[in-house]
Amino acid sequence: MIFLFCVGVSDDLHVAATLEHTYDVRKRVFETVTEPRGLFMSRSAAYVAEGKIETHEVEPIEPKDGEVRVRVAFVGLCGTDLHIYHGHMDKRVTKPLIFGHEMSGTVEAVGKGVQGWAPGDAVTVMPLKWDGTCAACHAGYHYICQHLTFIGIDSPGALQELWTVPASTLVRLPAGLDLRTAALAEPTAVAVHDVRRSGLQTGDKAVVLGGGPIGLLIACVARDAGADVMVVELDAGRRKLAASLGFATADPAGDVADAVVEWTGGNGAEVVFEVSGAAAPVALATALAKVRGTIVVVAIHSAPREVNLQQIFWKELTIVGARVYQLSDFERAVDLLAREVIPAGRIITRSVPLEETAEALSQLAKGEAMKVLVDVASTSQEK
């Protein structure tokens, strides 16, 4: 049971140091405690095999220098968690893996040298660790470090009652922001980063291809930035939700290009966000963008896609990628949630106890929910 960190192109010394640290993390997280559960036991949900989640009791990790221990309140389940659950990331993760990276909670304990944080502080976590030595880091792009560790995938995540993380990953939550809503901070930060990468301006028309949680969050952030937004979504329920939130909508089963032409007065959209992860919307995106428009690739595509290069040439289109986020994106996300720009109550379908994590993932896979939260502190009996 060893957690492997995501390692890019590196030398042998970097790999050796990574594996040594990984072994230490494995020892600290998965030492089984045989005594009856008490104050020093922590329940956790771990991915153990394709389609299988088990609830473990583990010994909480004492925070070392520069670390804090967080009492986790809520964890959001997302598409990446589904990929893990279905075994699609087995080459990257090591089982058992306590996963989860969308969360909210409160500081429970602080290690030596930690300043500015105290027990009881409400927090979320920006789940990224970078090495500070690669070319990306030296260029100032720490968040897309070539040796980036994504906490919750490459190292233990938030689906545990007590979670020890570097203090540098904490993001403060304001008073009055409830922890259930705050669990949307991470996906909202994704949306903030996506909109920032697009260069969107007040008055622009933006088309969002895909009306799932990230798509709706992008739509909300873009509207707050002054854009007029259309959401293109195949699922009728999700399309209805987007319309109820005040967005123009289109069904991809119809002629989306004609709908966008009419909606934009024949000009096309300044920005197109590809959030679906499917081949057809990728092929469609270039037709929807206006001259000198921008296409933002948000979704993860597991296979190469066909793109109309003639359209890119003819319209002088720009295509940009948007992967994760920076601290400023997280801080803006928290502000948007606190100001209720994000309709959290409409996006969150329900919450479940830790023991029902597998059932919740199955529900998401079937498209039966928008966003499901795991209420880490609750139990099936309490529910």
Catalytic center residues: 80, 83
C-alpha dihedral sign at 31, 38, 49, 279:
negative
C-alpha dihedral sign at 246, 345, 98, 64:
positive
Task: Answer for the pair 82, 365: CB distance below 8 angstroms, yes or no.
Answer: yes
**Angle at 361 (CA atoms; ends 28, 229), nearest 5 degrees:** 115
Q: What is d(CA 113, CA 64) in angstroms, rounded to the nearest whole number?
A: 9
End-to-end, the C-alpha distance of the chain in Å comes to 31
Task: Answer for the pair 65, 112: CB distance below 8 angstroms, yes or no.
Answer: yes
Q: What dihedral angle (degrees, nearest 10) is formed by the CA atoms of 126, 276, 248, 226?
A: 40
Among the listed residues 271, 325, 275, the one whose alpha carbon sits nearest the alpha carbon of residue 297: 275
Residue 127 tokens read as 């789940």
Q: What is d(CA 326, CA 277) in angstroms, rounded to the nearest whole number?
A: 23
Query: Mapping DSSP to helix (H, G, I), strand (E, B) and coil, where does residue 81 land?
Result: helix
Q: What is d(CA 154, CA 156) in angstroms, rounded to the nearest whole number?
A: 7
Task: Answer for the pair 159, 376: CB distance below 8 angstroms, yes or no.
Answer: yes
**Angle at 381 (CA atoms; ends 53, 97), nearest 5 degrees:** 20
CA distances, 233 to each of 175, 210, 287, 364 (Å): 36, 5, 17, 16
Half-sphere exposure of 300 (CA within 13 A, CB side): 12
